[in-house]
Amino acid sequence: MADKSPAPSSFDLDRVRELIEMMEAHGVTEVNLRKADERWVLRRGPAEVINMMAPGGYAPPPNYTPVPQAHHTPSPPASPSAPAAVPAAVDGPVIKSPTVGTFYGAPSPGEPAFVKVGSTVKADTVVCIIEAMKVFNQIPAEISGTITEVLVNNGDAVEYGQPLFRVKA
């Protein structure tokens, strides 16, 4: 006797919830299921961003560029008594971080920086990416002028309102 139950839809919310509950109950962080041309990939918890460009895979939207720590010149080690803090007040116009996160000066490793000292920027010029909770946010200059100083290093943690670039208007 054949099973006469209807074929489940591709994205049955009840099935997804059940699978998530099972993942939580058993401490599973990733499930990758494939049946015919249907594919489900579920991840929970912290994980690195994966760009799946296999046949039938997916790619993140164009403005979502994973940028692990790219090449940068390391800062000299701080003295033990020096606080590892946000720079003191910066004089003149600056481009500030609109969020807390990790600063990346280039779209991806091996690519040139968005801007460098001497670069001319307009209000809509993307100057960096700040990663916050695995979301890569492109940061526009919001002012026009010439970059005179880069105030943070690639991969540095930045705070809300922290100066990132000094600009000569």
Residue 107, domain member (yes or no): yes
Q: pLDDT of 21-56, one tens digit each?
A: 887 777 777 777 777 777 777 777 654 444 444 444
Residue 148: per-residue pLDDT? 95
Same-domain status, 112 and 157: yes
Q: pLDDT of 60-106, one tens digit each?
A: 444 444 444 444 444 455 444 444 444 445 567 999 999 999 999 99
Residue 152, domain member (yes or no): yes
Q: What percent of the chain has pLDDT over 70?
A: 65
Please tell me the total count of domains within the chain.
Answer: 2
Same-domain status, 99 and 47: no
Domain of residue 120 covers 94-168
Residue 89, domain member (yes or no): no
Same-domain status, 109 and 155: yes
pTM of the model: 0.49
Residue 99, domain member (yes or no): yes
Distance CA 25, CA 93 (A): 52
